[in-house]
Homo-oligomer: A and B are copies of this chain.
Amino acid sequence: MKRIFDIDPWLITTHELNSENKRLQESMTSLGNEYMGMRGMFEETYSGDTHQGIYIGGVWFPDKTRVGWWKNGYPEYFGKAINALNFVKADIYIDDQKIDLARNPFSDFELSLDMKTGVLNRTFTVFGVQVKITRLVSAAMKELMVSHYEFMSLDGVAHRVRFDATIDADVTNEDANYDEQFWQVLAAGHEQQTAFMATQTMPNPFKVPQFTVVARQSFQGGTQQAAHETEKAVTDTFNIEVPAKGQASFEKRVIVTTSRDYDDLTATIAASQHLTETIQSTTYQELYQAHQDEWAQRWAKADIQIVGDDAAQQGIRFNLFQLFSTYYGNDPRLNIGPKGFTGEKYGGATYWDTEAFAIPVYLGVADPAVTRALLQYRFNQLEGAFHNAKMQGLKGALYPMVTFDGIESHNEWEITFEEIHRNATIAYGIYNYTNITGDHSWFNGYGAQVFYNIARFWADRVHYVTRRDCYMIHGVTGPNEYENNVNNNFYTNWMAKWVLGYAVSHYDEIDKAQQAVLNIESKELAHWQDIVDKMYLPEADIDLHGKKTHIFVQHDTFLDKDLTPIADMPQTIRPINQHWSWDRILRSPYIKQSDTLHAMFYFPDAFTTEEKQQNFDFYEPLTVHESSLSPSVHSVLAADLQMADKAVEMYERAARLDLDNYNNDTADGLHITSMTGSWLAIVQGFAGMRVRENKLYLKPFLPEKWQQYSFRLVFRGRVLEVTVNQKETTVALISGKNLTINLLGADVFLTSK
Residues of chain A whose beta carbon lies under 8 Å from any beta carbon of chain B? 64-68, 70-74, 78, 175, 177-178, 180, 391-393, 411-414, 417-418, 463-465, 467-468, 472, 474-475, 484-485, 487, 543, 556-557, 559-562, 577-587
Contact = CB atoms under 8 A, between A and B. Distances in A.
26 contacts: A64-B178, A66-B67, A67-B68, A71-B581, A72-B577, A72-B578, A72-B579, A72-B585, A177-B177, A177-B178, A393-B581, A393-B584, A413-B582, A418-B583, A463-B561, A464-B562, A465-B560, A465-B562, A467-B543, A474-B557, A474-B586, A474-B587, A475-B583, A475-B586, A475-B587, A487-B560
A485 B484 contact: yes
Contacts of A418: 583
Contacts of A556: 556-557, 560
Given A392-B581, A474-B561, 18 more contacts: A64-B178, A66-B67, A67-B411, A68-B582, A72-B578, A72-B580, A392-B584, A393-B580, A393-B584, A413-B582, A414-B414, A417-B583, A463-B562, A464-B562, A468-B560, A474-B587, A484-B485, A487-B560
A362 B582 CA distance: 37
A435 to B, nearest CB: 32
Nearest to A578: B72
Nearest to A581: B73
Contacts of A582: 68, 71-74, 413, 417
Contacts of A578: 72
A557 B463 CA distance: 14
A410 to B, nearest CB: 10
A583 B413 contact: yes
A586 to B, nearest CB: 5
Contacts of A67: 65-68, 78, 411-412
Nearest to A417: B583
Nearest to A543: B467
A144 to B, nearest CB: 35
Contacts of A414: 414, 485
Contacts of A178: 64, 177-178, 180
Nearest to A72: B581
Contact of A68 (B175, B412, B557, B559): B412
A468 B540 CA distance: 15
Contacts of A562: 463-465
A534 to B, nearest CB: 14
A64 B180 CA distance: 13
* Centre residue among A71, A474, A559, A581 by max chain B CB count within 10 A: A581
A161 to B, nearest CB: 41
A535 to B, nearest CB: 14
A582 B392 CA distance: 8
Contact of A559 (B175, B392, B467): B467
A178 B177 CA distance: 10
